[in-house]
Structure 1
Amino acid sequence: MSLNIRGYAAQSATTPVAPHAFERRDPRADDVVVDILYCGVCHSDLHQARNEWGNSQFPMVPGHEIIGRVSSVGAGVSKFKVGDMVGVGCMVDSCQHCSSCAQGLEQYCLEGGATWTYNGIDRRDGLPTYGGYSERIVVSDKFVVNIPDGLDPKSAAPLLCAGITTYSPLRHWKIGKGSKVAVIGLGGLGHMGLKFAKALGADVTLFTRSAGKEEEARRLGAGHVVLSTDEAQMKAVANQFEFILDTVPNPHDLNPYLATLAVNGVHCLVGQLQPLDPPVSAGAVISGRHSIAGSGIGGIAETQEMLDFCAEHGISADIEMIDIQDINDAYERMLKSDVRYRFVIDIASLAKSA
């Protein structure tokens, strides 16, 4: 029997996210049914709900930073049991046999891409996927992660997107003790980037356009703060960084930052999906054998590694809890950067909309 679910959905690109009842699929033998406790609010939820990327399917139940407790498991599931605290991130399936999936890089699945937690199509039954702004979710056990006992489940929710999006490139480019790393932007992604780079042993600098963020940046792990609009400050850090983690979600000029890369340095984009504007100077790339790179989320094994790392090092997201009835106000506040640093929905508040 299909599961009847309460949630919040966008019915179109121009209507508010509002109460919505829908059906989850029948649990399969390899499925885990999770009662959702908390769901983080990602900027991509806003992009998708308003069809800013042009691929939205409605009605849409957003949410891909999901924390909950297992309420039942299929007959073929052995990794999880009823009562376990678990997480579900940005994807709920992949082909599981292409070269990317074989390497644990399900996010880069070569056969139609990963199946996203919402605004996707289930590759087995062709039905739409619905996210975590809801009371329950049904997920293949291969795409569920354990939440370690040492992590507060509320502040762990954003780790499943903002956390892994910043952890994965730092690990891929082997950032460690003594690495000179810069983070551009101090938002939901940027504040996690500072925490991870610091915990990995790097010498960390924050690039920001906003004066007055030094104390906050140092609290989060930055050893240095550079005002990117100040030419003298930018010149003072020329040729320094082996790795720049660029978390800015909108088009911005990369050229000033490329001048701060050391020889063989990498400027990695994790926030921006639009075309680069203004154009990048090829000379700035060639002259120092610099690379402009990009990175998405991490695979399931790496996501579990990240959560275990967070528990070991006492890392979590800085959050503001909200009721789900306040989600549209939260979106407007996100547009104004009026959040430090991630909203998390208390899904128990759904009962108020009953």
Structure 2
Amino acid sequence: MTHTTIPAYAAPSPAAPLERITVPRRSPGEHDVLIEIKYSGICHSDIHTARGEWGERAFPVVPGHEIAGVVTAVGSGVTRHTVGDRVGVGCFVDSCRTCENCLAGLQQYCTGELGMVGTYAATGRDGELTYGGYSTHIVVDENYVLRIPDGIPLDAAAPLLCAGITVYSPLAHWQAGPGKKVAVVGLGGLGHLGVKIARAMGAEVTVLSQSLRKKDDGLRLGAEHYHATSDPATFEALAGTFDLIINTVSADLDLDAYLGLLRSGGTLVQLGAPEKPLPVSPFALITHRRSFAGSMIGGIPETQEMLDFCAEHGLAADIELIRADQINEAYERVLASDVRYRFVIDAATI
């Protein structure tokens, strides 16, 4: 297999800031698509991985799994994409393709020996380390490349490939729509898209945030109600209100209190990944047949469905475009919740 090298920004070690390096990319094979990356979103997962907070990884780590770009070459067997197409790549670039979940289009839950191959810091079927979107180009099998509709600007489309599908998947699975009351916990990169998408689905949307600091934004994005969770009165006033709560934050929340906000038969879906286990009292569940569930990203079919839905409804991420040399500063600002609502790297500056 032949390779070429391309510039990228990488974490050389868990304790080091990201820096510009070169990394190898395989030459496109029969079913591969070569993508010139135009934009790459910064996800909190990038920071966890680059800093070694989610277990051991092979370094250097080139993060980035919110990728938007343009096809510049295709392999001889490619039928799904052509040169010039606007495309995206999300959190994974391969899976076993034969397990029950893969065959059902749920590649994110692949149970095969290969498993879901992450876009970065993973080992592909060729035995090579994967490098992500903080780079100028990427080569991906055509079956794991998404079509970005013309109606969505590429820069604002990039965060949809992780943040967008992460909130769309549970909203679709638990059937958010007319007549349903949905609460979104946290108004950050995921939460702001959760508000937009839930509202577009027809649900009545409430934001539950630590403070009222972003209330005007929440209402502008489509929420009809906005409450501060730092006020104990919120939990009294909203007890038994919601059909569905999606928790986008990674903080250690009092889950029993949030479960109390559900109607009988309602579901609280955990999207954030706190470092420590979250205790749940059985009585918070069994007394009203409430459910505490989890959800990850979506498979390839659902991610395409999400992109088409966003284009149909005029939805995209609210972003702050940055240069590559601002990545380390952006990481600190993400940790300080100082972004509205997603940093996106202009790959032309790499």
* Length-normalised TM-score, structure 2: 0.98
SS at match of 1:244: strand
Check the 8 A contact 2:212/2:227 in 1, yes or no.
no
1:240 lines up with 2:235 in the alignment? no
1:187 lines up with 2:188 in the alignment? yes
- Read off the aligned partner of 1:305 and give its amino acid letter: E
Check the 8 A contact 1:268/1:293 in 2, yes or no.
yes
> What is aligned with 1:169?
170
- Read off the aligned partner of 2:266 and give its amino acid letter: G
Aligned equivalents of 2:243, 2:83: Cα separation in 1: 45
> What is aligned with 2:119?
117
Aligned equivalents of 2:183, 2:202: Cα separation in 1: 13
> What is aligned with 2:212?
211
Aligned equivalents of 1:294, 1:248: Cα separation in 2: 13
RMSD: 1.0
Residues 167-176 or 208-217, more deviating: 208-217
- For residues 111-149 of structure 1, the C-alpha deviation after alignment (integer angstroms, 9 at most, x for no partner) is 1420000010012x1010000010100000000011101
Q: Stretches of 4+ moved more than 6 A in 1?
A: none
Check the 8 A contact 2:117/2:124 in 1, yes or no.
yes
* Length-normalised TM-score, structure 1: 0.97
Aligned equivalents of 1:312, 1:162: Cα separation in 2: 18
Aligned equivalents of 1:93, 1:250: Cα separation in 2: 30
> What is aligned with 1:285?
285
SS at match of 2:84: coil
Residues 212-221 or 46-55, more deviating: 212-221
Check the 8 A contact 2:211/2:227 in 1, yes or no.
no
How far apart are 1:273 and its partner, in Å? 4.5
SS at match of 1:238: coil
Aligned equivalents of 2:128, 2:215: Cα separation in 1: 48
SS at match of 1:63: coil
> What is aligned with 2:264?
263
Residue identity (%):
53
SS at match of 1:56: coil
- For residues 182-211 of structure 1, the C-alpha deviation after alignment (integer angstroms, 9 at most, x for no partner) is 010010000011001100000111111112
Aligned equivalents of 2:44, 2:87: Cα separation in 1: 22
Residues 43-52 or 246-255, more deviating: 246-255
> What is aligned with 1:107?
108
- Read off the aligned partner of 1:290 and give its amino acid letter: R
1:79 lines up with 2:80 in the alignment? yes
- Read off the aligned partner of 1:321 and give its amino acid letter: L
SS at match of 1:67: strand
How far apart are 1:178 and its partner, in Å? 1.3
Residues 220-229 or 239-248, more deviating: 220-229
Aligned equivalents of 1:184, 1:133: Cα separation in 2: 29
> What is aligned with 1:324?
324
> What is aligned with 1:312?
312
Aligned equivalents of 1:166, 1:268: Cα separation in 2: 10
Check the 8 A contact 1:252/1:276 in 2, yes or no.
no
Aligned equivalents of 1:10, 1:257: Cα separation in 2: 37
- Read off the aligned partner of 1:297 and give its amino acid letter: I
Mapping for residues 29-178 of structure 1, pairs under 5 Å: 29-112=30-113, 113-123=115-125, 125-178=126-179
Aligned equivalents of 2:277, 2:15: Cα separation in 1: 27
Aligned equivalents of 1:119, 1:344: Cα separation in 2: 20
How far apart are 1:274 and its partner, in Å? 3.3
Aligned equivalents of 1:127, 1:227: Cα separation in 2: 47
